[in-house]
Amino acid sequence: MNREKVIFAFFIVLALTLNFGFFVGDTGNPDHHNVYELYAAIVVSLIATVLKFGDRTHIGAVLLATSLVADLQLVAAAIVWGAAEHIMVNGMTESVMASVVSLSAGALLANITSVILLMVETIMIRR
């Protein structure tokens, strides 16, 4: 068993599951979405991105692209959340929370694409 591949797959799947955990819930209700779960999703997604830098295959390039999209979406969601909490006069409203969850949904789609590509790459490996 290749320990490197296990760690690589672990972080890709963990990024997906953390993002999904944050995404699930009523879109406009901040009580259904934990800020620390968003933070964990960002950190794990960034780790997964760093692990993808060494792969020089075509699938590796697409995996890196999907990971960068997920990172961008999650960081944008965190910025919107932070701006709502610390800059905006109204604070966290339903529409702002819907925007945060919507950005998280985009990252979720990118993470699902990464996992599908990982499965395709695994199936293509011949022994």
Domain ranges of the chain: 3-124
CB atoms within 10 A of CB 122: 10
Cβ neighbours around 52 below 10 Å, total: 21
Confidence bin at 39 (pLDDT 50/70/90):
very high
- Rounded Cα–Cα distance for residues 52 and 19 (Å): 18
pTM of the model: 0.91
Is the predicted pLDDT of residue 127 greater than 60, yes or no?
A: no
Apex 79 CA angle, 15 and 115, nearest 5: 20
The CA angle 23-69-50, to the nearest 5 degrees, is 105
Residue 38: pLDDT band (50, 70, 90) is very high
In the predicted model, is pLDDT for residue 65 greater than 90? yes
Q: Is the pLDDT of residue 115 over 90?
A: yes
